Structure 1
Amino acid sequence: MLTLLNLLSAVALLIWGTHIVRTGILRVYGSNLRRLLSQNMSKRPLAFIAGILVTAVVQSSNATAMLTTSFVGQGLMTLTPALVIMLGADVGTALMSRVLTFDLSWLSPLLIFLGVIFFLSRKQTRVGQMGRVGIGLGLIVLALQLIVEAAAPITHAQGVKVLFASLTGDILLDALVGALFAMISYSSLAAVLLTATLAEAGVISLPVAIGLVIGANIGSGMLAFLSTSMQNTAGRQVALGSLLYKLIGLMLIVPVLDPLARWMDTLAYDPTSLVIGFHLLYNTVRCLLMLGTVGPMSKLCIWLLPEREDINGGAKPRHLDLTALDTPSLALANAVRETLRIGDLVDSMLGALLNVLRGSQTAVNQAVRTQGEDVEVLYSAVKLYLAQMPREDLSEQDSRRWAEIIELAINLKLASDLIERMLRKIQQQKTAQRREFSDIGLEELATLHSQLMANLRLGLSVFLSGDPESARQLLREKRRFRAQERRLAHAHVSRLQRKVVQSIETSSLHLELIADMKRLNSLFCGSAYVVLETLDTGALEADAVPDNAHSP
């Protein structure tokens, strides 16, 4: 019982080491990996190589699958290159299984020792995260040694010999057992290495080992497909295609399994080398053969898992991938994109405000109300998404970005509510009281509205780019808007003195709208302060100049 517990704990340590390496690499190079996988993937050889390299870096084809499916789900990548990347990931994991079979016993204590020193001394820095990666790699090497040591006494147990003796080379049964190995250990790599250990001990024959290896590949495909169950249809299509490719590989190997096993028996290699070599050869040949079929496979996956139309018709988050929460750079980028969607909705609502002012739209129609509800849905989704991020693991820069996103999302939500109230005021004035703005007053409001729209778009641009010069320009526009707002308020009072009837009738609403636009402008320009507060205090001091210095 103790021996079995040692084996299970060693497998768990391998899984944990792989997790640490993956999260550490993604936290340091997550943005670069995102860029590598999401851009310039139209050429199949490039996408294939990218899948190999990313899997070699993160030590897990399942991790590559999670990244790729999330990018497809967010619309950063189409299905066809994503399937090519998944084929490359299968080759990458086979290469890593070969690398990890070398004698690296000296490397484990060195990596763990150095990794702990760097991680504890500089935890929130890039060097500290690379120390985390070193710890993970050391744990992987150590876990592989423990798996071999723990499996040795088990392989001599009579019950285990009887159990594996029942596997007589039936490829389907062997593949099923191999798939279970991979799913239980949450790693096809661990399942392949355990199979190699059993073959080395003579517990299983070479044909059985081949079947287990093929099944381990299928098990990793099933893991990836199950992991995407909470994603949208586009992401699940990628995992489905990868699983189908593994099942096709099983069907292709069945006719040649017996002659292949007899030929491999004639080779002068130890069982471990034969098993690992077959794993590498099988995945490489299978993936290269399938490379030309990704187009038809994409169509098949779309047919098997068609996109379902949203029967509710409301907005839903597109970019808030829950699998990216362990990687702050990716999760924050997702939240940024979703927040910009809120900005687009507010921009559209602001456009509707001008239509109501000019009379081309006589009432607050259902489309505007729906946009307000969509803002509420997306705002709540962004807020909850960011709340799930582990704040203690964020670097100083990521913490600032986290706060920027929250602040802008709140400002946009407040702006949406304010625009809806403004629309209701105008509607009540025009429908209930039958009053209209004077031509001059209407043009003044339209001019202020145009300036407000420009400041909203510039504010979103500053939030996205973090460009200090654009932020300074936004603050200049904010001061110009204040001066314009005061000038127009004074002009309105002058018309009241001249007893312009329409101005008198709409005076309260006119001044309220100017004040509301001033509030909106402050909400839209908030992103400039976040950019400049640590870069250019002079710009902030300039903004503190009294507003009457700019008034006529």
Structure 2
Amino acid sequence: MLGAVALLLWGLYMVHTGIGRGFGDRLRLIVGQGMSSRPRALLAGIGVTMLLQSSTATALIVASFAGSGLLKAVPALAVMLGADIGTTLAAQIFSLDLSLLAPMLLLVGVVMHKTTQKVIYRQGARALIGLGLILLSLGIIVHGSEPMRDSPVVLELFAALAGEPLIAMLITALLTWLAHSSLAIVLLVMSFAGSGIVPMPLALAMVLGANLGGVIPPVLATLGQGAAARRVTFGNAAFKLVGAALLLPFLGLLPPLLAAIDGAPARQVVNFHTAFNLAVAGLCILVLPLVVRGLEKLLPDEQDGQSAEGSRFLDESAIETPIVGLSCAAREALRMGEYVEVMLSGFAQTLREGDPDKATQLMETDDIIDGLYEDIKLYITRISRQEVDEAESLRIAEILSFTTNLENIGDITENLLELSAKTARRQMRFSDEGLSEINDLHGRISANLNLAMAVFMSADVSAARRLIEQKRIIGALERQVTENHLERLREGRPESIETSAVHMDILRDLRRI
């Protein structure tokens, strides 16, 4: 029995990851485009979740959009209501007798996976294999649970729980959280009810528990994110909690009504699951603006700058879709580059103005750059563990190389700022020609940094060639500037002699950048 449950969870995981990796970018586009109205957002949530077989995955996608400001709270919560309905429709499909399809799905999936090299087809094959495993596991659970009907211990246990629906609901919620799949638990309860092991009132309480447990993983996953992301998962959890609390006292009245619709116990379980989520969605979608206003009071936006230093675009839900995850990492790398630009431009300003306090303040920016580098590196490492194609592997290497260079530039610029602060504190003064040459070299290097970031994002060949040519020009300019400084030393210029060591260190560090 435990092996069959494990097979069910693995089948759901294969469907989720196969669809997510192969079609995740398209599904995210559907979520992003279906926001013009609450009904469209609801339908988008239904469709995406039926394909992903995971309302948690949909919740993380929607929360990431909301956290990035791409999605308002009202349509985001409408998508989540649709996602809850989507899982019930998947349960409806799996409640049908589709056992004959299992061998066919497994055969087609394995043949596709072995005979094609295109990632999208291989991931589609993975999803087909997962569907076959789900159907196979459900058959094993049904047959494996038959001896349990004659077990006094099992029957006594479920009889005791039948008298404590609240405890049964909470235990099932805990199991659902541990399994990270409300669909799997509902299908398991359906199988037990169909085998006559679980009485119907208890099965209904367990379905409510599965619905409650299904909202826990998204809530925990967004605890460290911004208020906009947390409003989505907390709001959806509140819908389920209120709905379950209102319905729990009346569960004993529902079995006759469900039996009038369909006499099969398994069908009664999934019909109740669907009816509960339809009722919650139908009632809550009408009051979403009021709910959002309440959530905004409970979870107000952070003050400006409160969380500006952490990573902003590394979307956890995109890791299983490498092409989307790499885009997120590239956006964060550009943000890292912006901090490097702030440090580099600040160096020239502090050198001109002789402001040691400003230089010291800018040196702290290197800690932000180091933190972003670590976040991006770990994020990219997790993406690399997915099934990636050759182009995605190349992009992973590019992002790691680019961010490593940015981190090195941050360290070098920190040295430059330290030299600037040292010059200001000692009231050292560069010659007018020397300072002008440093500013000219610095300006060219700053322009090259901007060009490098453009090449990183666009992969434009002509821009890359210009970047290589500029590197040669800057090298020649640095040699000329060094020669000019040495000539001023030979002339015995006092300011050049006084600042010579600092001057040469600055030229060395600018050349390294």
The TM-score, its normalising length taken from structure 2, stands at 0.87
Cα deviation, residue 485, structure 1:
4.1
Cα deviation, residue 214, structure 1:
2.3
Matching residue of 1:133: 127
Of the candidates 323, 328, 331, which is equivalent to residue 334 of structure 1?
328
> Per-residue displacement from partner, 1:492-532 (whole Å, max 9, x unpaired)?
56766777664565455445534433332xxxxxxxxxxxx
> Per-residue displacement from partner, 1:99-127 (whole Å, max 9, x unpaired)?
11223223222222232333345567332
Matching residue of 2:236: 242
Matching residue of 1:199: 193
Of the candidates 103, 112, 129, which is equivalent to residue 106 of structure 2?
112
Matching residue of 1:463: 456
**Aligned: 1:372 with 2:345:** no
Letter in 2 for 1:461: A
Question: Residues 288-437 of structure 1: matches in 2 within 5 Å?
Answer: 288-304=282-298, 315-321=309-315, 324-359=318-353, 361-391=355-385, 393-432=387-426, 434-437=428-431
Matching residue of 1:536: none
Cα deviation, residue 349, structure 1:
0.4
Between 452-461 and 324-333, the greater mean CA deviation after superposition: 324-333
For residues 98 and 284 of structure 2, what CA distance do their matches in structure 1 show? 34
Relative distance call for 1:217 and 1:337 in structure 2 (3 A) is same
Of the candidates 472, 485, 491, which is equivalent to residue 465 of structure 2?
472
Identity of aligned residues (%): 37
Question: Residues 142-181 of structure 1: matches in 2 within 5 Å?
Answer: 142-166=136-160, 172-180=166-174
Relative distance call for 1:515 and 1:278 in structure 2 (3 A) is same
For residues 313 and 281 of structure 1, what CA distance do their matches in structure 2 show? 41
Matching residue of 2:273: 279
Cα deviation, residue 269, structure 1:
3.9
**How many positions carry a matched residue from both structures?**
513
Matching residue of 1:445: 438
Relative distance call for 1:379 and 1:198 in structure 2 (3 A) is closer
Matching residue of 1:537: none
Matching residue of 2:509: 516
Q: Is the 8 A contact 1:124 1:394 kept in 2?
A: no
Letter in 2 for 1:455: N
The TM-score, its normalising length taken from structure 1, stands at 0.81
Of the candidates 238, 258, 265, which is equivalent to residue 264 of structure 1?
258
For residues 36 and 469 of structure 1, what CA distance do their matches in structure 2 show? 34
Between 159-168 and 26-35, the greater mean CA deviation after superposition: 159-168
Give the 3-state SS of the residue equivalent to 1:365 in structure 2. helix
For residues 273 and 393 of structure 1, what CA distance do their matches in structure 2 show? 37
Relative distance call for 1:232 and 1:515 in structure 2 (3 A) is same
Letter in 2 for 1:378: L
Q: Is the 8 A contact 1:430 1:436 kept in 2?
A: no
For residues 187 and 362 of structure 1, what CA distance do their matches in structure 2 show? 56
For residues 157 and 356 of structure 2, what CA distance do their matches in structure 1 show? 79
Matching residue of 1:545: none
Give the 3-state SS of the residue equivalent to 1:266 in structure 2. helix
Between 53-62 and 416-425, the greater mean CA deviation after superposition: 416-425
For residues 392 and 260 of structure 1, what CA distance do their matches in structure 2 show? 45
Relative distance call for 1:183 and 1:153 in structure 2 (3 A) is farther
Letter in 1 for 2:206: L
Letter in 2 for 1:442: L
Letter in 1 for 2:461: P
Give the 3-state SS of the residue equivalent to 1:141 in structure 2. helix
For residues 431 and 249 of structure 1, what CA distance do their matches in structure 2 show? 67
Cα deviation, residue 301, structure 1:
3.9
Of the candidates 84, 90, 96, which is equivalent to residue 96 of structure 1?
90
For residues 324 and 414 of structure 2, what CA distance do their matches in structure 1 show? 33
Q: Is the 8 A contact 2:354 2:421 kept in 1?
A: no
RMSD of aligned residue pairs (Cα, Å): 3.4
Cα deviation, residue 75, structure 1:
5.2
Relative distance call for 1:345 and 1:392 in structure 2 (3 A) is same
Relative distance call for 1:468 and 1:102 in structure 2 (3 A) is farther
| Ranges in structure 2 where 5+ consecutive residues have no aligned partner | none
Matching residue of 1:523: none
Question: Residues 9-48 of structure 1: matches in 2 within 5 Å?
Answer: 9-38=3-32, 41=35, 43-48=37-42
For residues 415 and 180 of structure 1, what CA distance do their matches in structure 2 show? 48
Between 451-460 and 500-509, the greater mean CA deviation after superposition: 500-509
Q: Is the 8 A contact 1:114 1:134 kept in 2?
A: yes
> Per-residue displacement from partner, 1:230-265 (whole Å, max 9, x unpaired)?
656654443222211111212443576566543333
Give the 3-state SS of the residue equivalent to 2:355 in structure 1. coil
Relative distance call for 1:34 and 1:460 in structure 2 (3 A) is farther
Q: Is the 8 A contact 1:119 1:128 kept in 2?
A: yes
For residues 42 and 388 of structure 2, what CA distance do their matches in structure 1 show? 32
Q: Is the 8 A contact 1:148 1:194 kept in 2?
A: no
For residues 111 and 417 of structure 2, what CA distance do their matches in structure 1 show? 60
For residues 194 and 350 of structure 1, what CA distance do their matches in structure 2 show? 60
| Ranges in structure 1 where 5+ consecutive residues have no aligned partner | 1-6, 521-552
> Per-residue displacement from partner, 1:355-388 (whole Å, max 9, x unpaired)?
1232263555332121012222222333334344
Relative distance call for 1:488 and 1:227 in structure 2 (3 A) is closer
For residues 341 and 411 of structure 1, what CA distance do their matches in structure 2 show? 14
Between 207-216 and 20-29, the greater mean CA deviation after superposition: 207-216
Matching residue of 1:540: none
